[in-house]
Amino acid sequence: MIFFIENSLNPEETVVVAAHLEQCPDCRAKLEYLKEILAQAEIEKIIENKPFLFTRIQGRLANAETHKTKRILRPLAIAIALVIGIFSGILLGQFTMTPNTTDQEREVAYLFQDQEIENMESLLLEDDF
């Protein structure tokens, strides 16, 4: 029947099928059903071309590449900032320290570290005596 719908039959076969369709209501119903299905298939075969599809795809690919570079550059920038911050803190700490202390300052500092002077307290704190 598909060949009949597409007019692919030779003239003698077309006459025979047409004569049969005039007499058989079931075959006519099948023919109408096949015509509807084939018409629907033809409609679905048509694909609409979306304008500027290629340019939109290229734009998305370009955006994806910039996101990749941002993923790499952001942690790198944070790491560099941390290293610079640590080294600047060390340098500032070295400049604020006064390495030259006088003898009098050492004597006063020695008094505040009195653990070596007062051995009696450490003896009393021990449990073995």
The string of pLDDT tens digits covering residues 104-125 is: 666 666 666 665 555 666 667 7
Output the CA angle 114-118-121, nearest 5 degrees: 115
Tokens for 63? 């955006």
Give me the pLDDT at residue 85, please.
94
Average pLDDT over residues 52-66: 77
Average pLDDT over residues 12-22: 88
List the one residue out of 6, 75, 64, 59 whose CA is nearest residue 34: 6
Mean per-residue pLDDT of the chain: 78
pLDDT band per the 50, 70, 90 thresholds, residue 84: very high
Give the DSSP H or E segment for 62. Answer: helix 53-96
Average pLDDT over residues 41-47: 75
Task: Provide the b/e sequence for 97-122 (b: ≥16 CB within 10 Å).
Answer: eeeeeeeeeeeeeeeeeeeeeeeeee
Q: Please determine, for residue 91, whether its predicted confidence score (pLDDT) is greater than 80.
A: yes
| Terminal Cα-to-Cα distance of the chain (whole angstroms) | 116
Q: How far is CA 38 from CA 8, 12, 13, 18, 69, in A?
A: 15, 24, 21, 19, 51
pLDDT band per the 50, 70, 90 thresholds, residue 82: very high
Q: What's the pTM value of the predicted model, to 2 decimals? A: 0.35
